[in-house]
Structure 1
Amino acid sequence: MTMSVAEAFRMLFGATAPVRFTAYDGSATGPEDAAYHVDLRSERGLNYLLTSPGSVGMARAYLMGDLVVDPIDEADPYDVLVFFEDALTPSRPGLARLPELLSFLRAHPPRLPQLPPQETPGNLHRLAHGLTHGRRRDAEAIHHHYDVSNRFYELVLGESMAYTCACYPTPESTLEEAQYEKFDLVCRKLGLEPGMRLLDVGCGWGGMVRHAVQHYGVTALGATLSKEQATWAQARIEADGLGDRARVVHADYRDVTETGFDAVSSIGLTEHIGVKNYPSYFRFLHERLKPGGRILNHCITRPDNTEPGIPKDGFINKYVFPDGELTGSGDIVRTMEDTGFEVRHQENLREHYALTTRAWCRNLSKHWEECVEEVGVGTARVWGLYLAGSSLSFERNRIQLHQVLASKTTQDGTSGFSLRPTWGS
């Protein structure tokens, strides 16, 4: 007789797994008073798990309503993710149990069901969308993630509309205080002064552009591949009365023809351009700077430099950042140096990003109903998983956030830096 779904669960996670598991075939296992109850409601859900073991299969089943966890905060499933990671450890069945497992698989042959609608548009590597990190494909990848809904981002990101790691002056600081400090830290590191010209590539909704113009008296140009971001940012610039000194354009950073900038900021763009494109990327930015100018590169990184990239078949690439790639800070520093920059300072802000993503989760929870109305429950659930999972990954040092500061040092050694940093810690 073929084992039940609950028996298969017990085989993989052990008889003492601290969850109550029930399945569509009427089988169940685990204590009834367990902290979490997991209900696999359909054979389709089982097929998601069998065809993509791990986070992707679970995400597919969850997003389609085939896997239900009680209790769970859809906007902030952080506690569930922590519990499952710490308390549920799958084991490899012993040889004596393999015949039972094979019999179970013969009775439930894996067949990939229809993919959740939130996955298909972002699954660019499966479609004919051009070369990875070619201009057309980059534009579609950015459109998939950033052109969701400006209103949705306002609800999740808050007043700053900053979708990058904040810098918390204290653990008790608000998200807005921390985002202000992040932009100010970048300005201080770049040594901005009145009359300077700043280029902000991948400028998002223009937060860095506005901060630098308002508080440091510079003239700033921002570029973003997201039409929705550019429209929102330029409207905010005009509303703030900054139109004579600030401008955000809807353009690929590679289309910026102006040169002679005193400073370049790149906050959260490097993740999108592809590791193989780093040399051409930094050469391009080097050419935009005047001699002695500074660049600040701020991006998510890996804790090592051995395996660059984000798994193509992982949850993040399929649902959140199509074609996204990460590498370690060492690769970034090496490439910047090899393209002519003198690296002056770098620091890791990963704990700050853990706090930032937790704050975004709280915003999503606070505005859950309006977010669902704006983008649909499936996309809202994707963001809950993504933000909560990111928090956990930053906390446990699976990913990091590095700022690397460098200068276009002249042949006679002029870098514009004094003997001691002036931006504080």
Structure 2
Amino acid sequence: MSMTIGEVADRVFGTDVPFRFEAYDGSVGGRQGSDVVVRVENERGLRYLVTAPGELGLARAYVQGDLSLIGVDPGDPYDLLSVFLDKVTVQRPPVSELRDIFRSLGIASFRPPELPREEAVPAWRRAVEGLRHSRNRDAEAIHHHYDVSNAFYEMVLGPSMTYTCACYPQDSSTLEEAQAHKYDLVARKLGLRPGMRLLDVGCGWGGMVRHAVEHYGVTALGVTLSAEQASWAQQRIKETGLDDRAEVRHLDYRDVPEGGFDAISSIGLTEHIGIKNYPSYFTFLHGKLREGGRLLNHSITRPENTSNGLKRGGFIDRYVFPDGELAGVGTIVSAMQDHGFEIRHTEDLREHYARTTRAWCKNLSASWDACVAEAGQGTARVWGLYMAGSSLGFERNWIQLHQVLGVKVGADGDAHYPLRPTFGV
């Protein structure tokens, strides 16, 4: 029995779905009359879906423009993803129908198309850049995600140019207010005071460096593997007249020659380090601090400690964070404890990250045409999917965001820490 593409879609997704399905062969499926339409535009789009069933095939077709979502805001597809997760279940057709499906789609549909340019190559091919989390491979992974376009990030992230979880002091706080509050919370947890020296590893566009220097009177050094971030950050530091006490270098944190810092902030870097490298990472940071110095580690975490890592070959690994790895907060705390730090405070900000990524989606949506013109439709679509999906992940407790504060205790047991925390909330 020959089937249309629409009929095959109904076999796989059913008809009680929150969208109408259309295909280039003129066939339809799904819920007729729905305002949301999922349309396969051409044969290449079908090949993406057939050769990589699931999230990766859908992403490839959508990023390439071979799959259209009509009635959906491409900059903020949160509502569609939410309903899709709740109401769509992929059904495996009966064995008796598989042969008919294969014949109906044709053997050419099972030939994999070329990868979209926005997709990182598989992990086994990335090995040409070195072992996972080698210096070369880490640099390439950072380049893939962060060196898109500073102008693109300015539109999505807003004036703060801060690509990490904000902390909303009030329900009514804006994104900018929340990002400033986050930097201030980090500074207070670190106990920053005038004259201190701060090292910010994985400093991004230098937001923490500038905040600490301007508001706490410290001297700060930030390092990042992104050349575009470092260039933008140094320019902003000069424009704000902070270049006598603030610096951002294009440098691997492992190559920082200075030591004796009073405090270290690591905001959004641990995700890129690799779990097996936690011992050397925290040992290195411990060695850069004076006695009594503090480390504030801020990173995305898992809600448990039994499945550390990331799904290899999934959407996030191939389109967003190549070689990224997430661990439970318990894993991070244990690694810090085992390599010199006394843990003084932990805090989960996952609801704040859900709000942060929703705000980024709204920024992307509001500047959609300009973002597409700057970075291309494929990159803009990746960001819409990634940020909307991240919002759902944080809301549903699939992922979390933890700040962990550690202290380098002196040989005499003196942690140089007050009897009660002074940073409040």
Instruction: Confirm or deny a common fold (TM above 0.5).
Output: yes
1:327 aligns with 2:327: yes
The one-letter amino acid of 2:418's match is S
Cα deviation, 1:94-140, whole Å, max 9, x if unaligned, reads 455455445556656521101111114x6564242111111111111
Structure 2 contact 292–415 (Cα < 8 Å) conserved: yes
Query: Using a 3 Å threshold, how does the CA distance of structure 1 residues 334 and 21 change in structure 2: closer, same or farther?
Result: same
Q: Conserved in 1, the CA contact under 8 Å of 2:266 and 2:297?
A: yes
Aligned: 1:350 with 2:350: yes
Alignment of structure 1 residues 206-221 onto 2, 5 Å:
206-221=206-221
Deviations 1:207-259 (A, max 9, x none): 00111111111111111111111111111111111111111111000001111
1:123–1:319 CA contact under 8 A, matched in 2: no
Q: Contact 2:48 / 2:113 at 8 angstroms: preserved in 1?
A: yes
1:22 maps to a residue whose letter is E
In 2: Cα distance, 1:255 partner to 1:393 partner: 34
For 1:34, the equivalent position in structure 2 comes to 34
| Whole-Å separation in 2 of the counterparts to 1:404 and 1:93 | 47
State the TM-score, normalizing by the size of structure 2: 0.96
Q: Determine if the alignment matches structure 1 residue 85 to structure 2 residue 119.
A: no
Where does structure 2 lack aligned partners over 5 or more consecutive residues?
Answer: none
Q: How far apart, CA to CA, are the structure 2 residues paired with 1:108 and 1:5?
A: 14
CA contact (8 A) 2:301 2:400 kept: yes
Secondary structure at the aligned position of 1:16 is classed as coil
Partner in structure 1 of residue 279 of structure 2 = 279
Does structure 1 residue 51 correspond to structure 2 residue 51? yes
Aligned-partner SS, 2:402: strand
- Which secondary structure state, in structure 2, belongs to the residue aligned with residue 243 of structure 1? coil
Matched, 1:313 2:313: yes
Letter in 1 for 2:330: G
Q: Deviations over 1:303-336 (max 9, x none)?
A: 1111221122011111111111111111000000
User: What is the percent sequence identity of the aligned residues?
Assistant: 63
Could you report, residue by residue, the CA deviation over 1:369-389 in whole angstroms, capped at 9, with x for unpaired residues? 221111111111111111111
Alignment of 1:126-205 (within 5 A): 126-127=125-126, 128-205=128-205
CA distance in 1, matches of 2:132, 2:30: 46
Unaligned runs of 5+ in 1: none
SS of residue in 2 equivalent to 1:263 = strand
Superposed CA RMSD in Å reads: 1.6
Contact 1:286–1:340 (8 Å) recurs in 2: yes
- Does the residue aligned with 1:406 lie in a helix, a strand or coil? strand
Task: Find the aligned partners of 1:255 and 1:216 in 2 and give their Cα distance.
Answer: 26
**Is 1:255 the counterpart of 2:242 in the alignment?**
no
Cα distance change on mapping 1:114 and 1:95 into 2, 3 Å: closer
Asked if the contact 2:18–2:84 (Cα under 8 Å) also holds between the matched residues in 1, the reply is no
Alpha-carbon distance change, 107 to 239 in structure 1, aligned in 2, over 3 angstroms: closer
Corresponding residue SS for 2:413: coil
Instruction: Give the alignment's TM-score, normalised by structure 1.
Output: 0.96
Instruction: Specify the alignment match of 1:76 in structure 2.
Output: 76
Go from structure 1 to structure 2 and tell me whether the alpha carbon gap of 1:230 and 1:8 turns closer, same or farther (over 3 Å shift): same
Separation (CA, whole Å) in 1 of partners of 2:151 and 2:25:
42
Matched-pair contact (CA < 8 Å) for 2:262–2:290: yes
Distance, in Å, in 2 between the alignment partners of 1:17 and 1:331 is: 40
- Tell me the residue number matched to 2:225: 225
In structure 2, distance between residues paired with 1:148 and 1:123? 20
- Whole-Å separation in 1 of the counterparts to 2:376 and 2:99: 43
SS at match of 1:143: helix
State whether residues 5 and 105 of structure 2, in contact with CA within 8 Å, keep that contact through their aligned partners in structure 1. Answer: no
Q: Which residue of 2 aligns with 1:411?
A: 411
| Maintained 8 Å contact 2:65/2:378 | no
How far apart, CA to CA, are the structure 2 residues paired with 1:85 and 1:401?
A: 22
